[in-house]
Amino acid sequence: MRVLKLLAVALCALLTIVGVGVMLAPMTIAEFGRWMQTPGGLYGVAALRIVMGASLVGVASASRMPRTLRVIGALIILVGLLTPLFGVERARAVLDWWVAQGTTFMRIWAVFPVAFGLFLIYAIVRPGGGSPPRS
């Protein structure tokens, strides 16, 4: 359980760091996004989402918000499974539209992954790091 919790926190921290990266250097992150827009890149993103969702489901019982993490984890797994179906061309179109809105728009939207990642870390890490009290 400890390794799974560490994995979940690390992936949520990665989400937060990407959001901060968009705030600080939106065009650099957009170029990285373009680099990822290949069939292999989409499969990699899908796998990362599935692992993140599964880790959230796995640590949910020992978290501050078990039901919330189970639901979010299940949704992230579903999105991960659907990611390859989205397709490279559609992913490129979405990224092109996002970049065309300008850096201010990109920075404002970057608040969401930062807040979501921090919320997930808060939900995962219990005070004292222990298991929930037994009833």
* 72 CB-near residues (< 8 Å, 6+ apart): 53, 56, 120
Structure tokens, 25: 């250097």
pTM listed for this prediction: 0.86
Single-letter amino acid code for the residue at 112: F
Domain encompassing residue 49:
2-126
Query: Does 7 reside within a domain?
Result: yes
Tell me how crowded residue 15 is: count the other CB atoms within 10 A of its CB.
Answer: 20
Q: Number of folded domains in the chain?
A: 1
Query: Does 132 reside within a domain?
Result: no
Q: What is the pLDDT of residues 51-82, one digit of tens each?
A: 999 999 999 999 999 999 999 999 999 999 99
Query: Does 51 reside within a domain?
Result: yes
Q: How confident is the model at residue 84 (pLDDT cuts 50, 70, 90)?
A: very high
Query: Does 97 reside within a domain?
Result: yes
Give residue 135's pLDDT: 45
Query: Does 135 reside within a domain?
Result: no
Q: How far is CA 135 from CA 52, 86, 96, 128, in A?
A: 29, 45, 52, 18
Query: Does 113 reside within a domain?
Result: yes
Query: Does 91 reside within a domain?
Result: yes
